[in-house]
């Protein structure tokens, strides 16, 4: 059993003793702590909280506990049921709610679930806010409502509203997409993407939608993280289906992966770059991604004479940096597109609509569009840690050793070389140092990573 409490929320495996996994008692405790925090940060006498969930097996149970706890805390609840993470974020602002809870463990396997916490802007809590929620929950510093003050529950479907908002974006061109006559496959790994993505594609005027794993049963058809090694079978289906491209999303639909018409990977690191290419061609401005994302976004940004900035890893950090730099587009290299003209959250629906518009306007095949971007290859490695290892000291030594290069230390240590980079950081959730490297060939990226591993081990 595992229970991880962090600023971004509470996630864990279902079952076990309280405090060891995400048990019903833990769900109630942390939901009550969140409601107490929301009350402290709202001027409203009666709070309104939005609740949405992905399709995982434990979702209905967790949702029942969360909704009942919020009602018990005196909060009115807008329960939007099966909904993507970005749909829930949008619902918070549409409802003028005081916050929201998303019940999803994102790309984690089926035994996991989580409570992800939103503020009144439909954005994830920052570090201070998240810490306060955990403090209130652990201390039991909350008080349930008396019978006359219990909250009420309203049920709404926000998927259609979300889709209409995507279609209403200025840079989404339904006419161009319809004229292209696209045939598109979508793999939704048996979660809420199976509801939202086909409906979006049909609304955009896609001629033919091939649905793969679109029944929202929660029984994931493959390992749910949308990375190449988990999409071998999906790639084969797309290759044989005579479609123009394929989209793959994770269980909560905030990450978008593209597969070319020939079954080859467009690469999740290139989703944001391609969408940004189109956005910058229409609305020049700054861009942001995290330190562990591909350099290709910087290249695309500089092509338009604009400024790229790197943020610390984590969506909340990327959003903060985007606001600080007035970025017109940003996100993360895992397929997470954040488009402020829509909202400040990773959104696969927005990403898909912008990408299809871009592809339609270029008149290229998906694989041909991919070839217009420079090739980079990433190597992702890790070093297991023991309690006595001084990670901070090791990273400081690496920073000093490469002081003559471009070094960024806002999140671990990132070293930028002329044609490559490496990012060294301690994991927030595992006892490891992550070593991400990127270069113009897979061999160079692997060699750079191995060199760093050897140097780090020499300091241990």
Q: Is 378 left (phi over 0), alpha (psi -120 to 50) or beta?
A: beta
Pair type for strands 48-53 and 432-439: unpaired
Tokens representing 201?
A: 């594609």
Burial 69-81 (b: 16+ CB within 10 A, else e): bbbbbbbbbbbbb
Tokens representing 389?
A: 């290892």
**Which strands, in side-by-side order, build the sheet including 336-338?**
308-311, 286-290, 327-332, 336-338
Does 106 participate in catalysis according to the annotation?
A: yes
Cα-only R_g, the chain: 22
Q: Are 136 and 36 in contact (CB under 8 A)?
A: yes
The catalytic position among 106, 183, 267, 293 is 106
Name residues whose C-beta falls within 8 Å of residue 387's C-beta, 6 or more positions apart in sequence.
none
CA distance 401 to 431: 24
CA distance 353 to 395: 41
CA distance 13 to 2: 5
Residue 403 is classified by DSSP as: T
Q: Identify the three-state secondary structure at position 114.
A: strand
Q: Identify the three-state secondary structure at position 293.
A: coil
Angle between helices 348-362 and 193-203 (to 10 degrees): 30
Active site residues: 106
């Amino acid at each position: 059993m595992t229970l991880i409490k962090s600023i971004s929320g509470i996630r864990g495996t279902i079952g076990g003793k309280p405090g060891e996994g995400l048990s019903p008692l833990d769900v109630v405790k942390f939901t009550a702590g969140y409601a107490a925090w929301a009350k402290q940060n709202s001027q409203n006498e009666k709070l309104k909280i939005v609740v949405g969930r992905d399709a995982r097996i434990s979702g209905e149970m967790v949702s029942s506990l969360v909704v009942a706890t919020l009602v018990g805390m005196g909060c009115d609840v807008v329960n939007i049921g099966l909904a993507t993470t970005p749909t829930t974020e949008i619902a918070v602002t549409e409802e003028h709610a005081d916050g929201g809870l998303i019940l999803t463990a994102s790309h984690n396997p089926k035994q996991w679930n989580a409570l992800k916490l939103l503020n009144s802007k439909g954005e994830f809590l920052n570090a201070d806010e998240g810490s306060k929620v955990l403090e209130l929950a652990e201390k039991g510093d909350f008080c349930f409502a008396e019978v006359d003050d219990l909250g009420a529950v309203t049920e709404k479907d926000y998927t259609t509203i979300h889709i209409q908002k995507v279609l209403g974006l200025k840079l989404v061109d339904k006419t161009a997409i319809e004229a292209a006559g696209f045939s598109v496959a979508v793999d939704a790994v048996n979660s809420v993407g199976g509801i939202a993505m086909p409906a979006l594609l049909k609304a955009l005027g896609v001629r033919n939608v091939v649905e793969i794993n679109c029944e929202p049963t929660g029984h994931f058809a493959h390992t749910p993280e949308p990375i190449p090694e988990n999409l071998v079978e999906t790639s084969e289906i797309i290759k044989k289906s005579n479609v123009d491209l394929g989209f793959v999303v994770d269980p909560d639909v905030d990450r978008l992966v593209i597969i070319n018409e020939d079954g080859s990977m467009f690469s999740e690191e290139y989703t944001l770059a391609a969408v940004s290419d189109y956005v910058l061609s229409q609305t020049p401005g700054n861009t942001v991604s995290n330190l562990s994302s591909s350099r290709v976004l910087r290249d695309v940004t500089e092509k338009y004479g604009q400024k790229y900035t790197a943020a610390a890893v984590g969506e909340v950090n990327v959003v903060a940096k985007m606001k600080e730099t007035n970025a017109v587009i940003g996100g993360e290299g895992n397929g997470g597109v954040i488009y402020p003209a829509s909202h400040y959250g990773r959104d696969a629906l927005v990403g898909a609509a912008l990408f299809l518009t871009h592809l339609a306007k270029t008149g290229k095949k998906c694989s041909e569009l991919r070839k217009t971007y420079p090739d980079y290859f990433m190597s992702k490695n890790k070093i297991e840690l023991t309690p006595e290892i001084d990670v901070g000291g090791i990273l400081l030594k690496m920073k000093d050793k490469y002081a003559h290069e471009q070094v960024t230390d806002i999140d671990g240590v990132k070293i930028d070389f002329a044609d490559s980079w490496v990012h060294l950081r301690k994991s927030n959730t595992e006892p490891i140092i992550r070593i991400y490297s990127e270069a113009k060939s897979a061999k160079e990226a692997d060699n750079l990573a191995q060199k760093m591993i050897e140097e780090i081990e020499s300091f241990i």
